[in-house]
Structure 1
Amino acid sequence: MSTLDQLTSDLTTAMKARDTLRVSTLRQLIAAVRFEAKAGSVEKELSDDEVLKVLAREVKKRRDSAQIYADAGAPERAATESAEADVIETYLPAQLSDDQLQALVTAVIADVGATSLRDMGAVMKEATARAGASADGKKLSASVRAALS
């Protein structure tokens, strides 16, 4: 079952269970995926990897919003954003641990033959391709930068 099909199925289940947080979050996710599919001049069918990228982007948006709300003194809204991010994360693959991330970066640097920060672009491109949605871009970038320094 594709991720989009899973989202739709879970939406129906959440509606029957009257889980308002899950219903609203899943509706927003489905809308974001459909918007991404319609972006551009021609509507296209998104692959599962593309859907996962959309979901990862939505998690990042909500985490950033939660931080902004917390800093602004709106803890209720921050809690809502965090709860939505938690719901979305259940559809994403498990994140790599710090040790796994470091091992990935080390392997990519060896494969690419990188020696300095000038090679960061090539390393990031390959590391991002290998990690997919299972690694946060900021953590990956910081790990690559530290390894190349």
Structure 2
Amino acid sequence: MALPQDIRPLNSELADSITRSAEIPWIESRPGQAWTKILWVGQESGRWAVLLKWKKGYVAPPHKHLSAAFAFVLSGRLKVRNNVYGPGDFLHETNGMVHGATEALEDTEYLFFCDGPVLFFDKDSFTGYRGWEQILQMQQEAQAKQAAE
């Protein structure tokens, strides 16, 4: 039986995107403490997905989510606000969520999906901004470095 309408995509170039994370290099974001694998950057939507690896004791600075964010802990333990999250725990941080430092209580790896940018700050000023453009720039710089080696 034929479908009642044609459901073929209008864009014939649409395809599944497969990321083989084992082939993606770790990017050291804080020497000896924190690394990032960039899994996907959605330039059209501003979304991005990364795998994060933090050594025990690493502390991410206070920040505000300027969009929703999602995390899934693969190994280790993270302290976020007054909660501790471990393997298998899923976090949803709403658009506008502000919180203090996030600490790795053990060596930790987790998936992080973000619908947009994150704004970092200290008590006096803004200290950083990470959105899809910064993630894409990190990826391009790591690829150029790898090609030069």
TM-score interval (norm. to shorter): under 0.3
TM-score using structure 2 length: 0.26
- Name the structure, 1 or 2, with higher relative contact order (CA <8 Å, separation 6+): 2
TM-score using structure 1 length: 0.26
Higher strand fraction (1 or 2) = 2
